[in-house]
Amino acid sequence: MKQFETIALQVKGPVARVRLNRPEVRNAMSFVMIDELLACFTALRDDPVYREVRAVVLCAAGKTFCAGGDLRDMTRPAKEQQMALARVDALLRAINQAPQVVIARVQGAALGGGLGLVSVSDIAVAGYSASFGLPEAQLGLAPAMIAPYVLARLGLTRTRELMLTGSRFDYLAAHRWGLVQRYCADIELDACVRVVLREVLRAAPEALRACKDLLFTVAAGGDTLDYRVALLERLRTGAEAQQGAQAFLQKQPPPWVVEQIVDFDDEEGIGTV
C-alpha cells in the first residue's frame, strides 16, 4: 500500500480502495489532500502497476464522508489558492473519467467538495446517515469548481435550488434525484458495495474501459458515428468478445469474472469493503 498523509490507497486484485483519512476534521479537503487524491487517481490511470484494477471504492474514515474544503487553507497566499483550485478541477476530471468504475461509499455528511466527489463517481452507495448540501453561499462563497459536475449529475433546476438555498437533503432525496444509485443501513454499506463490485467484476476488463471512454466521448457531443463503429468492431473482433461468446455457448462464466471479493484490512472497522 502506498503511503499518503491524508488518504490511504490499498489494492487487492482488481479492486482498489481510496480512503479519505482525516476523520479528526471530518475529512475536509485540504490542499495536501487534493494533491494526494490527484496523484492517486493519476497513478491509477497511468501506472502499469494498476492496469489490472477494474474498480475503485472511494470511501472515508470516521463518521463523515467529506465536509467540503478545508477553510483554513483560505488564509494561504492568493497565488497558492489559485493553483490549488486548478488542481481541484484536474482531480474531479481524473475521477470522473477514470478508466476504472469508481464507486463512492458515503456515510454522514457530503458537503460542498464532498458532494462534488460523489457527483464524479460512477455509482454511489449511501448509508441512512448520509446527508448532502451546497452550503458555500452561506459562507460567502460559491461552489465554482464543482459546479459543472454537480450540474451534470443533478441538472440545472435542482442544482439551482440547492446552490441558492444551501439546503441539506438526505439519502432518499439523493437517490430520487440521481446523485446516489443505492442506499442501505450504514452497517450494511460494505455488503452493499460488495454487491456492486460483484456486478462490475462480471464485465470484461477492456470492455469496462471502453464503456467509460464511450460515455464521455458521446457526452462531449459532435458526430461520433465513426468512433462508435470502430469501437464496436475492435471489441467484436477482440479476445474478450471471443471468450465471452464461447463461455455463453458453454454455459460457463467467462475467465474474467471475479466471484470472491477480498476484504481490505482496516484497523478502524470502517470502510472495510
Taking the CB of residue 252, how many other CB atoms lie within 10 A of it?
A: 10
What pLDDT score was predicted for residue 196?
Answer: 97
Overall CATH class of domain 7-200: alpha beta
pLDDT, position 268: 42
Instruction: Please report the pLDDT score of residue 165 as a whole number.
Output: 97
Distance separating alpha carbons of residues 58 and 106, to the nearest angstrom: 9
CA distance between the termini of the chain: 16
| Domain locations along the chain | 7-200, 205-249
Q: How far is CA 210 from CA 45, 52, 198, 228, in A?
A: 14, 14, 19, 10
Burial of 229 (0-12, 13-18, 19+ CB in 10 A): exposed
pLDDT mean for each 10 residues of the chain (273 residues): 86 96 97 96 96 97 96 81 88 97 98 98 98 96 96 97 97 98 98 96 96 95 95 96 95 92 62 37
Cα dist from 106 to 14, 177, 199, whole Å: 21, 16, 19
Amino acid 266: pLDDT: 62
The rounded distance, in Å, linking the Cα atoms of 220 and 10 is 32
Q: Contact at 8 Å (CB) between 200 and 193?
A: no
3: phi then psi, degrees, rounded to nearest 5:
-95, 130
240 φ, ψ (degrees, to nearest 5): -65, -45
Q: What share of the chain is helix, strand, coil (3-state, %, to 5)?
A: 50, 15, 35
pLDDT of the residue at 2: 59
* Helical ranges in the chain per DSSP H: 31-46, 78-96, 113-119, 147-154, 156-165, 171-176, 189-200, 205-219, 225-236, 239-249
| CA-wise closest residue to 98 among 215, 186, 195 | 215
